[in-house]
Copies of this chain bind each other. A is one copy, B any other.
Amino acid sequence: MTNRILICLFFCLSFFAYLPTAQAEDGYRLWLRYDQVNNRVLLKQYQKTLQHLVIEGNSPTLQVAAQEAMQGIQGLLGKNLSHSATDIKNNTLVLGTAASSEVVKSLQLQTQLQGLGPEGYLLLSTKHNGKKITVVAANSDTGVLYGTFHLLKLMQMGQSIQNLNLSSQPKTSHRILNHWDNLDRTVERGYAGFSLWDWHKLPDYIDQRYLDYARANASIGINGTVLTNVNANSLVLTEEYLLKVKALADAFRPYGIKVYLTARFSSPIELGKLKTADPLNAEVRQWWKDKVAEIYRHIPDFGGFLVKANSEGQPGPQNYGRSHADGANMMADALAPHNGILMWRAFVYDNNVPEDRAKQAYNEFNPLDGKFRENVMVQVKNGAIDFQPREPFHPLFGAMPKTPLMMEFQITQEYLGQGTHLVYLAPMFKEVLEADTYAKGQGSTVAEVVDGSLYNRKFSGMAGVSNIGTDLNWTSHPFAQANWYAFGRLAWDHALTSEQIADEWLRMTFSPNPQVVSTAKNIMLGSYETLVNYMTPLGLHHIMGWDHHYGPGPWIKDKPRADWTSVYYHRATEKGIGFDRTKTGSNALEQYAPHLQDLYGDPKTCPEKYLLWFHHLPWDYKVSSGRTLWNELCYRYSAGVDSVRQMQEQWQQLEGKVDQERFKQVKSLLAIQAKEAKWWRDACLLYFQTFSKRPIPAELEKPEHTLEYYQKLEFKFVPGI
């Protein structure tokens, strides 16, 4: 009998530990879980404050806001809002705009609402005819929706909702996800399954995920989505597909999200049967005008186009001897009558130009400043190469004062551990946004270029290359959800700190339990530096596996383009390592402001994180730690691996504190990350050692295999290509 009792006890206790609900915590709910508030004091406060709902107006967006409020409050407070049909009572939640709501109008909020713009909102505890009410007010229905999400967030985070008086508005006007999704549902550089867009069943079938996707985006203020890959297929511009796009636009519209498409530059040839796509050709121009008009007939609020031209084989205006401005302006002219915008990517490079690839975008675009139409934004990657783990900010920021420059961040982790590494990207985003361009003297940050304030631009924007796919939890790694979240939050307000954003996200996504928040935040905040250490410390870059970009490949050479190889970038020899971008080398440095040329140009003052980005240095060069460059490289790589192991230990402390499902998932993924971090370390050190001819310091772990072993590894069916 004792045996049975013990077993029974074992079961009962262990089951209760991980069965808080009848459903497994699968991550699908993202940060909008709305589980009941645990803190009894707060729960009572919330329940008392929010008892009735009044919403005036019945636009689809207000319906969505009301639905979110009802659903959120039902989950968080475990009760439904009462639905009195009488006047405002005590403890009513009022959602509305001054235009649609009698109550909001009567509160005389004009002054406060002024200056909040079309998307800002106000949360206010106040009185109406002597009754205590909580008001979410805005100038537009979308603003009301954003404010509703904010109010719910306060409760998810365990903050007071009494005496509210806060407002918020976005710092950039265009906050856009870029989906590199192909029409066959594969996703270029996607590591979370396949494309959400089920083109075959569109336009007739609206998948539940479309709505949940839109809702999640609205909750963090994302207001646009480019549905298709920048390596574009013109098929999406046919009427058959435009009807499908319209169905998605209709589904997203209530959530304040506009739809954009990538436009293949050669579409007039492929679809229009013209002989050319020359942007100065009258027929071509007419074809685009007609095509754009057709799109707007289906989708009156269509956002516009995103174009990758004359880059990596994509067609573009240079095929016809025209400039990027010629190409962009032609499309912009077609879009302008409909208030559409044109986003033209600066990610261009040409293998025929033997110059440092880091210089090419600047060389092509800087001379075009002032030549673009008003509704063109040039979309610039954060750095000049290609979403490497760490790059200095792109020298175009600050160098095109007459052109609105959109930031293009990569949320999907192409070079950052793909679907399995825990890397919180807010610190990387922030590092770039806070970088000082010195374009108008000290304090001219990239963020101020991007938000349009430095040059007083009308449009401003941030684009994030999406990490979203069909995986049940949307992003493959449960913590990769934080990067989607952080992108949205920073696009709204780049002044937020990485820690604030992590704090918000953790409380909503996992638990407001202080130990969970503090431990997981610690893991998150160190994770970016950790990854840089075990992949590309000290300014190394572009040394990953060929083509699929999975794992290390510093030995990659002899490929169709020199700038697709690793040896092009690290330039290791027996004498030293690094890419000399100073005057003695490619002088890419001259694309930055004079102050930065001085700072970065001297290895003694160059931040060590960019050391080998700008300098080729001997293996025995002494770095700030007093170690030789070779030894420092060994230490940095090893520190990266050690940090992942610490992340594992820290996560282990949360067993039983977070749900069992995600606890196990993250634990498994951290084990993969630890294995792969060591793979990176071992492979890179063994390879670079063939040049340095120096030993790995004895106190550091020895590589597990030979260099040949790592070089021979082959990978089939790596996701994301």
Residues of A at the B interface (CB closer than 8 Å) are 1, 3-5, 7-13, 15-16, 19, 22-24, 26-29, 34, 53-58, 63, 66-67, 70-72, 74-75, 80-81, 83-87, 102-103, 183-185, 193-194, 198-201, 204-209, 211-212, 235, 419-420, 470-473, 476, 661, 664-665, 668-669, 671-672, 675, 716-719
Contact = CB atoms under 8 A, between A and B. Distances in A.
A672 B204 contact: yes
Contacts of A71: 19, 22
B19 A70 contact: yes
Given A5-B86, A102-B1, A11 B193 contact: no
A13 B85 CA distance: 11
A67 B3 contact: no
A7 B56 contact: yes
Given A4-B56, A206-B668, A661-B208, A15 B67 contact: yes
Contacts of A72: 22
A104 to B, nearest CB: 11
Contacts of A9: 83, 85
Nearest to A5: B85
Contacts of A193: 193-194, 198, 470
Nearest to A36: B22
A200 to B, nearest CB: 5
Nearest to A54: B8
9 contacts: A5-B85, A8-B83, A8-B84, A22-B34, A22-B75, A24-B208, A200-B718, A201-B476, A205-B672
Contacts of A83: 8-9, 11-13, 16
Contact of A22 (B74, B420, B671): B74
Contact of A8 (B34, B67, B85): B85
A194 B22 contact: no
Contact of A204 (B1, B11, B29, B671): B671
Contacts of A199: 717
Given A102-B4, A205-B665, A419-B201, A11 B63 contact: yes
Nearest to A78: B22
A3 B675 CA distance: 64
Closest 3 CB pairs of A and B: A12-B83, A22-B75, A470-B470
Given A19-B74, A71-B19, A8 B470 contact: no
